Amino acid sequence: MSFTVDGTSGLTFPNSTTQASAGGMTLLGTITPTSANSISISGLNLTNYKQLNIVVNNLSTTSTADDVFMSSNNSQTVGYIGTFSSTSTQFQTFIFVDLATSVQSAMLGGAIAQKVGNITTSTTTIYFRCASTYLFGATGTIRIYGVS
């Protein structure tokens, strides 16, 4: 089987005039954490996206055994994404969110968390929050990509 790739019209399969369509991935924004209990990104328009891919790089907290949540309303009961196990470790992880069902999946501190959160296509702000009064460290980045 062969196919044709044309830089202006895309991918066409043999014996077909139908082109394969592919969604795109767009960087919606980056959060640079501060020493705070809650960090966020606002002004989002998720209407045309089906999924979010979130890349967490070198995030830390000021407490051991600190639960971390991601939500549209700054909750510390909805959207659990994992538990930090050490204040001296900076974590890297991927978080995937299906915007149709609000199901989110993350691996943080070696454990996989799959939960139903509250982030949907109508969400305009995404919060990351530490439990109780614990704080994020002022390290790393969180990059949020929309997948159409």
Model pLDDT, residue 10: 47
N residues, the chain: 148
pLDDT tens per residue across all 148 residues of the chain: 444 444 444 444 455 444 445 568 999 999 999 999 999 999 999 999 999 999 999 888 887 777 888 999 998 888 888 777 666 667 788 899 999 999 998 876 566 777 888 999 999 999 999 888 888 888 899 999 999 9
Model pLDDT, residue 1: 42
Distance of CA 81 to CAs 7, 8, 40, 97, 130, Å? 40, 41, 15, 11, 10
Contact at 8 Å (CB) between 22 and 147?
no
